[in-house]
């Protein structure tokens, strides 16, 4: 059974940092591209970042570029999101999401999410 379990969320002051983790199990993690997607309270889904299976290709949404860093450790079956210079507008539930590659591609599994609250 595919499982994605996020951790590391919490309350942080504006300008602070937080590191999210996603522990993957039930599949060959090193073979899959991964994403972080967030959802602000009462709002829609917003893609945050993508990392290829090897970690060699990375993309970010403009809203987080220069502040967030995605990474992975295939030996530990783990995905990470380092978030720096956090702002109130980064408050959201952050989901780890597995991508199925292909011409169109799609996300087939999501974690349960971890809540990040940026507030003083």
Which chain residues interact with other proteins by CB under 8 A?
A: 35, 37, 44-47, 50, 59, 61-62, 95, 99-100, 102-113
Q: How far is the CB of 65 from other proteins (least distance, A)?
A: 12
Please identify, using beta-carbon distances, which residue of 9 and 111 lies nearer to other proteins. 111
Please identify, using beta-carbon distances, which residue of 75 and 103 lies nearer to other proteins. 103
**Taking Cα atoms as reference points, which of 27, 39, 34 lies closest to residue 79?**
34
Please identify, using beta-carbon distances, which residue of 42 and 120 lies nearer to other proteins. 42
Q: How far is the CB of 1 from other proteins (least distance, A)?
A: 12
Q: How far is the CB of 105 from other proteins (least distance, A)?
A: 6
Parallel, antiparallel or unpaired: strands 114-118 and 10-12: parallel
Give Cβ neighbours of residue 24 (< 8 Å, ≥ 6 apart). 2, 3, 4, 34, 77, 78, 79, 96, 98
Q: How far is the CB of 85 from other proteins (least distance, A)?
A: 21
**Taking Cα atoms as reference points, which of 111, 114, 113, 86 lies closest to residue 25?**
111
Separation of alpha carbons 19 and 79, rounded Å: 10
Please identify, using beta-carbon distances, which residue of 23 and 45 lies nearer to other proteins. 45
């Amino acid at each position: 059974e595919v499982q994605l379990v996020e951790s590391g969320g919490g309350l942080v002051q504006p300008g602070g940092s937080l590191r999210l983790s996603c522990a993957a199990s039930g599949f060959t993690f090193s073979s899959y591209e991964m994403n972080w997607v967030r959802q602000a309270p009462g709002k829609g889904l917003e893609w945050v970042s993508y990392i290829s299976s090897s970690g060699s290709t990375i993309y970010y949404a403009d809203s987080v570029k220069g502040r967030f860093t995605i990474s992975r450790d295939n030996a530990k079956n783990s995905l990470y999101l380092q978030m720096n210079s956090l702002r109130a507008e980064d408050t959201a539930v952050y989901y780890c999401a597995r991508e199925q590659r292909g011409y169109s591609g799609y996300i087939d599994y999501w974690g349960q999410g971890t809540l990040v609250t940026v507030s003083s």
